[in-house]
Amino acid sequence: MASVQLCAGIRSSHSPMDFGAPCLRGASFSAYFAPGLSSFRSVDASLALCQASNRFLTIKAAANGRISSHQNGRHSRTRLDDGSSTKYFDFLVIGSGVAGLRYALDVAKFGSVAIITKSEPQESNTRYAQGGVSAVLDPSDSVENHMRDTIVAGAFLCDEETVEVVCREGPERVKELMAFGASFDHSEDGQLHLAREGGHSHHRIVHTADMTGREIERALLTAVKNNASISIFEHHFALDLLTHEDGNTITCHGLDTLNVRTKEVVRFISAVTLLATGGAGHIYPSTTNPLVATGDGVAMGHRAQAVISNMEFVQFHPTALADDGLPIKPKSRENAFLITEAVRGAGGKLFNMARERFMPLYDARGELAPRDVVARSIDDQLKKNNEKFVYLDISHKPAGEVLGHFPNIARECLKCGLDITKEPIPVVPAAHYMCGGIQTGLSGQTSIEGLYAAGEVTCTGLHGANRLASNSLLEALVFAQRAVNPSKDHFQRVQGSYRAVDEAREWTRPLESTAILEDSQMEEIRKFTAVQRKSLQQIMWNFVGIVRSTERLEIAQRRLEELETSWQDHLFRHGWKPNMVDLEVCEMRNLICVARVVVRSALSRRESRGLHYTTDYPDLVESRRLPTVLIPAYWNSGLVNRLSTGSVSSRAVKTTQEFQPKTPVQA
C-alpha cells in the first residue's frame, strides 16, 4: 500500500484507506487525508469506500467491432458495428451551466468543442439562481471588503490567494457577461443596481430581478448556439472519464456517455476535458437543486482518482419555501423553491410561529448573518418549538418595491394562495450547495493531466467552510476563464497525437442495459433503485444534516454501506452485468459514492467549522483549520506540484492576523 501523504507534500507513514477504486481500467486507489492526520480515525480503518461500485465496469468486455471513420469538417466520428460510436473533439465540456458554457465560448477560438449535458441544455443549477453575482462595482466598496466577507463567511478555511483572485477578477467577468448579452437591472441613475445579501458588508450583487441565473444561462446559451465551433450533445449522460495511467501520471482522454434518448453509448475522445457538472443536492430529499444535480462529476472524478476536498461542507439554504405552510399545497416538487437571500438583504425578518423575531438571539448580524448561522438558528427554533417551518416577512416593505425586486417569488407564492406583500412566507432550510468537490489549482487544473474543472463541482478554496451568497456564479465565471489558457497550451501539446489513442483496446466499452435485459428485469431494477434512492436521501437528511454528531454520522456510514450492498445484490440477482449502464442506475451509483464521501469527510473533522457543526466537537480548533482532502494512492510530489499553483492544499494552512478565527454561533 502506498503511504498517506499530506496535501502540503509531507509524507506520513500511516496506512491509507483502500477505496478499491472502480475506475474503468480497474486501477486501485486511494488514500484519505484530513485535518489532524495523527488523530484521524479513518486513516487506520480499512474502509472500502464505493467498494461495491467495484462490481460495475470492472470486467473488460473487448470491443471487437470493426472501426470505420469519417470526417464532418468540425470533428470526426467512428462508428462501431455494434451501433455505438466514437467522436473526436479538441475540447470536451461536461455540463451546460455557467461554468461549462463560459469556458466553451473561449476555447472555441482554438478548436472544435463538444458540450455534453444530461438533460435539456438550460437545465442546471445556474438556471435557478435567483439572487445574483457578487462583484465589487461600487466605488465605496473594495476588493479587500469582498475578501474579508468571503473569508469570514468561510470560517477562515478559505484559501486567501484564491479569494483574492476571484474578488479581483470578478468585476471584469461580470462585464464580459454583459458583452455576451446578459441584461442586469439598473438604477435610475443608469448604474448597475447592486443588491445586498447576508454576509456581505456592501451592496455588490448584480442581478436580474430574482431570476439572474435564467438570464445568464439564456445569454450564454444563445452565444453558444451561434458559435459554429461548438456542438451541444443534449440528453447525453456522462458515465465515466477515460483515463490512462503512466507511472505517476494519470491523463484524461475523454469520456463515455449514454445517449438517454437513443440508448446509444457514445464515446468522446478529446485533447482537453472540462468537468463542469455542478452540484449534488439530490443526496438529500429536500433540495433547491434541479434533478440533474446528482454529484456525477465528483463521483466520476473519484473513480478516475482525482483529488477531492472539503466534502463535509454541504450548504443548507436557510429559506426554501415550506410547502407545508402554504394555503394551497403545490403538487409534489422535484426540488424545493428557493426564497433568495436577497429578501433578507432587502429587510426581510425571520419569525417563529409565536411571531417572535429570533435571529438577534443567535447573532448580532441578525438576518444578515451568513447562511450557516441562519440555517442552524432556524433548525434550533424548529427543534425547540417542535414546528415544521418559520416565517420570513417582507410585507412591511412597500408592495411596489417587493414586486419589483422579487416578481418570480411573488408569482410562485401567489400560485399557492400567498400574497408576499401582505403575509409572511413559510420557510425551512433545504440542501443547496456543495462547497467541496474536485480540487483545482488557480488555473482550474486537477490532479489529472488534460482534465480541468470549474464551477460547483470543484473545490477551489474560495468558499472554505461556507459559501458566501452569490459567490458561486462568480467563482464559476472566474475559473472557467482561468482554465482557458492552460487548456489551450495542453491542446497545442497533444494536438497532433490525441486522436491516435487506441480507444477500443484501452477502455472497455459499456453496454446499454435495456438492449440486453428483459423489460420486466429492467422495470424491477428501476423500481428498486428509485426506492433505494429515497432511502439514501432520508439517511442523509436524518443523520448528516445541519447539526451532526459522531454517533449519527457512524449510523449513516453503516446504513449507506448496507444500502449499497443490498441495492447491488438486487441488481445482480436481476440479471445486471458489471459493464452495463442505465441513467437511473448510474445516477444512484454516483449518489451513493458522493454521500459516502460526505460522511467520511464529516467524520474526519473533529471540530465545528462553518457548515459542519457537530455536537461532539462544538468549537473551532485552530490546529484543525485545514482542508479535508481525499487523495489517491499514487499521490506524489509531482501531483503536489501540479496542484500547487493556487491549490487549497498548499496555502489554506496559512494563519493571517487580519482574519482571526472566532467562535461560531452555537445552535
Ligand X SMILES: Cc1cc2nc3c(=O)[nH]c(=O)nc-3n(C[C@H](O)[C@H](O)[C@H](O)COP(=O)(O)OP(=O)(O)OC[C@H]3O[C@@H](n4cnc5c(N)ncnc54)[C@H](O)[C@@H]3O)c2cc1C
Give the interface with ligand X as residue ranges (CB under 6 A): 94-100, 116-119, 123-126, 128-133, 212-213, 237-238, 276-279, 288-289, 292-293, 296, 338, 433, 455-457, 470-473, 476
Report angle CA 661, 664, 667 to the nearest 5 degrees. 175
The Cα–Cα gap between 373 and 415 comes to 30
157 vs 221, beta carbon nearer ligand X: 221
End-to-end Cα, the chain, rounded Å: 42
Query: Which of 205/553 has CB closer to ligand X?
Result: 205
CB of 107 to ligand X, least distance (A): 15
Residue number, 16 or 281, with CB nearest to ligand X: 281
Please tell me the distance from the alpha carbon of residue 408 to that of residue 416, in angstroms, as a whole number: 13
Nearest-angstrom CA–CA distance, 512 and 209: 43
Q: What is the residue-wise DSSP string for 545-612?
A: SSEE-HHHHHHHHHHHHHHHHHHHHHHHHTT--TTEE-HHHHHHHHHHHHHHHHHHHHHH--S-BTTB
Cβ 295 to ligand X, closest distance in Å?
8
Q: How far is the CB of 582 from ligand X (least distance, A)?
A: 13
> With respect to ligand X, which residue has the nearer C-beta, 42 or 130?
130
3-state secondary structure 436-463: CEEECCCCCECCCECEEECCCCEECCCC
Which CB atom, from 359 or from 457, has the smaller least distance to ligand X? 457
Is residue 371 flagged as an active site residue? yes
How many angstroms from the chain centroid is the CA of residue 410?
A: 28
| Residue 325 DSSP label | G
> What does DSSP say about strands 390-393 and 349-351: parallel, antiparallel, or unpaired?
antiparallel
Could you tell me whether strands 31-33 and 67-71 are parallel, antiparallel, or unpaired per DSSP bridges? unpaired
- The three-state secondary structure class of 265 is strand
Between 180 and 618, CB nearer to ligand X: 180
Q: Please, which contacts does 160-164 make with residues 24 or more away whose CB atoms are closer than 8 Å?
A: 160/651, 160/654, 160/656, 160/659, 161/442, 161/461, 161/646, 161/651, 162/442, 162/460, 162/461, 162/462, 162/646, 162/648, 163/461, 163/462
Q: How distant is the alpha carbon of residue 186 from its chain centre? A: 31
71 DSSP β-pair partners: 76
Give the shortest CB-518-to-ligand X separation in angstroms: 26
Minimum distance from CB of 200 to ligand X (Å)? 12
CB 15 within 8 Å of CB 44: yes
Closest approach of Cβ 205 to ligand X, in Å?
Answer: 8
Decide whether 119 or 644 has the Cβ nearer to ligand X.
119
Contact indicator for 336, 635 with CB cutoff of 8 Å? no
Nearer to ligand X, 2 or 402 (CB): 402
CA atoms within 13 A on the CB side of 485: 5
Active-site annotation holder among 371, 482, 509, 609: 371
Write the DSSP string, 496-538: TTGGG--HHHHSPPPEEGGGTS-HHHHHHHHHHHHHHHHHHHH
Least Å distance, CB 482 to ligand X, is: 14
CB of 615 to ligand X, least distance (A): 28
By beta-carbon proximity to ligand X, the closer residue of 293 and 382 is 293
Query: What are the Cα distances from residue 259, in Å, to 238, 262, 306, 581, 651?
Result: 9, 6, 25, 11, 41
Rounded Cα distance between 649 and 501, Å, is 33
- Least distance (Å) between residue 536 CB and ligand X: 17
Which amino acid, 139? P
What are the backbone angles phi and psi of residue 320, rounded to the nearest 5°?
A: -95, 150
Catalytic residues, by residue number, are 371
